[in-house]
Amino acid sequence: MTIRALAYWLTVYKRTWRASIWSSFLGPLLYLGAMGFGLGSLVNAHGTAQLGGVTYLQFVGPAILAVQAMQTGIMESTYPVFGSVKWNKTYYAAQATPLTPAGIFRGHLLFNAARITMNSAVYLIVMWAFGAARSPWVILGLPAATLLGLAFAAPTAAWAMTLKSEASFNYLFRFGMIPLMLFSATFFPLSRLPGWLRLVAYATPLWHGVALCRGLSLGTLTAGSAVIHVGYLAILAGIGVWAGGVTYRRRLYV
C-alpha cells in the first residue's frame, strides 16, 4: 500500500522536479559557500580553539547538512501535505481506492525520505569536494541526515493534517525552524550560549542531528553519543509516524 502511494509521488516528481531542483540543492551550497568560506576566513583568522581546532568550514559544513535535511523534511510535510487534502484533494482520490489513510501517509513520508536522501547526497558530494569533511565516516552522514529529516517530516505531516488553514505554517517556520537553525550549535559552538539556553538546545532534535553529522564528519563521534543521538531522532520519528496514522485517519475517514 505504502509503495503504491509512493509511486504516485514519484510520478508527480517526474513532472515537477525542475521547479524544485535549484532551491533544494543550491540553497545549502550557498550557505556552505558564504558561511564556510566567507565567514570562515574571518573566524579562522581569530583562531579556532573554540571550534575544537578544526577550520570553520569543517565546523559548519556538517551542520548545514543537518539543517538542510531538517528544512527539506519540514517543507515537504507542510504545503504538499496540506494541499493534498485541501487544494487538489489528491488524498481523497487515493482514499477511494484500496489505500488506507495510514498507507497514504506512509507513502508520502517515504517520498519525503527519498527527497531528503537525494538532497543530502548531493550536498555531501560537494562538502567532500570542498574539503569540509575530515573523516570517511562522513558517508554515514547520509542515513543520519535522512533520519534527522524524518524526525521532522513525520511529526510535521501529522500536525499539518490537523490544520484548517495553512497560515499556521508560518508559526512553525518563524518560531520553530529558524530558531532551531540559529541555536543548535550550527554556526557557533554551544559554549557561546548562556547555560540555560544550552540546556534547551540539548533537548532539541536539530542539536542531536548536528552533533551526529558533525561527529561523523570530524571522526570524533563516540559510540555512546551516537546511540543517544540516533535513539532520540528515531523515537521522534517513530512518534511522528504513529501520530500521522492517527491524524490522517481522523481527517480522511469521517
Give contact residues for another protein (rule: CB under 8 A). 1, 4-5, 7-8, 11-12, 15-16, 88-90, 92-100, 252-254
3-state secondary structure of 171: helix
What DSSP state is assigned to residue 53? S
Of 42 and 254, nearer to another protein (C-beta) is 254
How many whole angstroms separate alpha carbon 46 and alpha carbon 39? 11
Q: Which of 27, 24, 36 is nearest to 187 (CA)?
A: 36
The minimum distance between CB 8 and another protein, in angstroms, equals: 5
The minimum distance between CB 86 and another protein, in angstroms, equals: 12
Q: Which of 141, 150, 77 is nearest to 116 (CA)?
A: 150
Of 15 and 46, nearer to another protein (C-beta) is 15
The minimum distance between CB 136 and another protein, in angstroms, equals: 40
The minimum distance between CB 11 and another protein, in angstroms, equals: 5
Of 95 and 186, nearer to another protein (C-beta) is 95
Secondary structure element (H or E) that encloses residue 42, with its range = helix 40-45
Of 75 and 218, nearer to another protein (C-beta) is 75
The minimum distance between CB 97 and another protein, in angstroms, equals: 4
Of 41 and 162, nearer to another protein (C-beta) is 162
- Residues 6+ away with beta carbon under 8 Å from 203: none
Q: Which of 81, 239, 241, 236 is nearest to 161 (CA)?
A: 81
- 201 burial (CB, 10 Å; 0-12 / 13-18 / 19+) is buried
